[in-house]
Amino acid sequence: MKKVSKDVVIIGAGAAGMMCAIEAGKRSRNVILVDHARKLAEKIRISGGGRCNFTNRYTKAENFLSSNPHFCRSALARFTPQDFIALIEKHGIRYHEKKSGQLFCDDSSQQIIDMLHDECAAAGVDWQMPSQVKQVQYFPADKEIRDIKQKFILTTERNTIEASSLVIATGGLSIPQIGASAFGYQVANQFDIRVMPLRPALVGLTFAAEDFVGFKDISGISIDAEVNCKGASFRESILFTHRGLSGPAILQISSYWQPGEFIHINLLPQQDVQQNFLMHRQSATLLPNLLARYLPKRFVQAWCSAMLAQLSIAVKPMSQYRDDELRQIADKLHDWQIVPSGTVGYKKAEVTLGGVDTHELSSKTMESKRIPGLYFIGEVVDVTGHLGGFNFQWAWSSGYAAGQAV
C-alpha cells in the first residue's frame, strides 16, 4: 500500500480543520487534510440559512458552554472575530451585521468555503478526499534517542499516512446526513481521553401530546418572548412547530435544558401584565380580546383554552374577574412553565454539546496533555457556543491555535 509522509495530518476538512491547515501550511509545515465527505464543508454551506453567520463581533468566553468555562479564552484572544473579518475583507467578501454582532455573507456561504480552499492552496496544503480512515496507530517518541519523535500512522482506504502531528477536526454528531460522525470521540476513547457527555444542542424542543393540546394547530406562529432555564435567559422569538417549540430563544435554551426540567416562558416580557389588567379592571373587553392586542390572536385562543382550563378560570369580561384570578393569569403569562419531552435530535441540531474534555488539552495549543502530537479542535471539543456565529468563531480560533503549534 502507498505510504505518504507528512508533518501534520488533519482529519476533518470543515471550518476548524481548514483553518488549522492554512496556519500550519503558512509555517511551512507539510500538511494533509483527510475527509470522508464527497463535498467540501457542507456544514459551512448550509449554515446561517445559506449565508453563514461566520462570526460574532462581540464574542466573549461567556458565549460558550463548557465544563471548563475559561478554557476558550486563550484561543479566542489570539484569533479574534476581527482577525476573521480581516481575512474575509482580504478576499473581497461582502457581509452585513444582522443583529447583536452577528455577521453574515451578503451573497452565499460558498464564498467562505472558496476562501478557505484558496487559502489552503496558497499554503501548499494537500488533500485526500473522500477517504475513510480505518485505523490510527501511535508510536511514542523515544526518549533515549532524541531524533525519534512521536509518530502517528493512519491507515486509510487509499494508503497509509505517517505524521508527527495528528489533528482531530471531525466536528460533532449533528446532521449525520451530511457527514457527521463519532470518529473524533472514538479517537479520544482510543487514547483514554475523557469525553464529556454528548447531547444535541441549539435544537428544537418537543412536547408530549397531552401537554401540547391546541398548540399543534398554531405551528408557524412566532412570538417575542423571554425563555429561562436554570438561570440562563434569552429574549428572542419562539416558534410553534408541529412537534413543539423552536425559534432562536428555544434553540438557545436547549443548550441548558436537561430531560425532566421545566423551561419558563415569559410571554409578555415587555410589560407588567398585572398592572395592565388593573388598568382594564372596569372593562367589558373579554380577556382573550385584551391579550390579542399584544399577542397573535390564534395563539391567545390556544393559550387561553389550555391555561384557563388548567386554572379552572372561565373566559369572561375583564370586569368580572376576581383580583386573585387576574393575578394567577398574569403570573402564568409571565411564567408559563412547560416540561419538554425531548428534542428533535441530532438530525436537526446545530451543534453537539459536550465532547473532548478540555482539562485534557492545552488551552494554548489544543494539544493533548498526555499524548504529544495529538490535537483536538472545533466542535469535537467540549466548547459549545450560543447561537449567533460563536461556533464558527470557536472553530477558527481553535484551528488557528493548533495551526501555530503542530
Residue among 252, 269, 220 nearest 100 (CA): 252
Question: 226 — alpha (psi -120 to 50), left (phi > 0) or beta?
Answer: beta
Binding pattern for the stretch 179-198 against ligand FAD, x by CB under 6 A and - elsewhere: x-x-x---------------
As measured in angstroms, the least distance from the Cβ of 15 to ligand FAD is 4
As measured in angstroms, the least distance from the Cβ of 241 to ligand FAD is 16
Distance of CA 274 to the CA centre of its chain: 37
**For residues 19 and 263, which CB has a smaller minimum distance to ligand FAD in the complex?**
19
As measured in angstroms, the least distance from the Cβ of 262 to ligand FAD is 27
Backbone angles phi, psi at 263, to 5 degrees: -110, 150
Q: In Å, what is the CA distance from 190 to each residue of 32, 157, 367?
A: 22, 20, 16
Side chain identity at residue 116, one-letter code: L
CA-only gyration radius of the chain, Å: 25
Q: Are 340 and 244 in contact, with CB atoms under 8 Å apart?
A: yes
d(CA 142, CA 43): 40
- 288 preceded by a cis bond (ω within 30 of 0): no
**For residues 180 and 329, which CB has a smaller minimum distance to ligand FAD in the complex?**
180
**For residues 332 and 386, which CB has a smaller minimum distance to ligand FAD in the complex?**
386
**For residues 165 and 170, which CB has a smaller minimum distance to ligand FAD in the complex?**
170
As measured in angstroms, the least distance from the Cβ of 149 to ligand FAD is 24
Q: Which stretch binds ligand FAD (CB under 6 A): 7-15, 73-81, 291-299, 315-323?
A: 7-15
Binding pattern for the stretch 52-81 against ligand FAD, x by CB under 6 A and - elsewhere: xx----------------------------
Rule CB under 6 A: choose which of 17, 25, 354, 403 binds ligand FAD.
17
As measured in angstroms, the least distance from the Cβ of 174 to ligand FAD is 5
As measured in angstroms, the least distance from the Cβ of 169 to ligand FAD is 5
Binding pattern for the stretch 108-137 against ligand FAD, x by CB under 6 A and - elsewhere: -------------------------x----
As measured in angstroms, the least distance from the Cβ of 52 to ligand FAD is 6
For residue 127, the cross-strand partners are 33
Residue among 174, 222, 232, 184 nearest 46 (CA): 174
- DSSP tag of 71: T
Backbone angles phi, psi at 171, to 5 degrees: 70, -165
Rule CB under 6 A: choose which of 10, 13, 173, 250 binds ligand FAD.
13
Q: Are 308 and 326 in contact, with CB atoms under 8 Å apart?
A: no
Side chain identity at residue 270, one-letter code: Q
**For residues 46 and 307, which CB has a smaller minimum distance to ligand FAD in the complex?**
46
The residues in 362-391 that bind ligand FAD, with binding defined as CB under 6 A, are 378-379, 389-391
**Residue 36, interface with ligand FAD (CB under 6 A)?**
yes
d(CA 345, CA 365): 32
Side chain identity at residue 206, one-letter code: T
**For residues 328 and 391, which CB has a smaller minimum distance to ligand FAD in the complex?**
391
**For residues 328 and 393, which CB has a smaller minimum distance to ligand FAD in the complex?**
393
**Residue 396, interface with ligand FAD (CB under 6 A)?**
no
Helix, strand, coil percent content, the chain, rounded in steps of 5: 35, 25, 40
Q: Which residue is nearest to ligand FAD (CB)?
A: 14
Instruction: Quote the Cα angle for 255-242-206, to 5°.
Output: 30
As measured in angstroms, the least distance from the Cβ of 317 to ligand FAD is 47
As measured in angstroms, the least distance from the Cβ of 67 to ligand FAD is 18
Rule CB under 6 A: choose which of 6, 8, 12, 396 binds ligand FAD.
12
For residue 361, the cross-strand partners are 368
Burial of 100 (0-12, 13-18, 19+ CB in 10 A): exposed
As measured in angstroms, the least distance from the Cβ of 233 to ligand FAD is 21
β-bridge pairing 102-105 and 53-56: antiparallel
Look-up of cell digits 509555517: 27
Q: List interacting residues with ligand FAD (CB under 6 A).
A: 11-17, 34-37, 41, 43, 46-48, 52-53, 133, 169-171, 174-175, 179, 181, 183, 350-351, 378-379, 389-392, 395
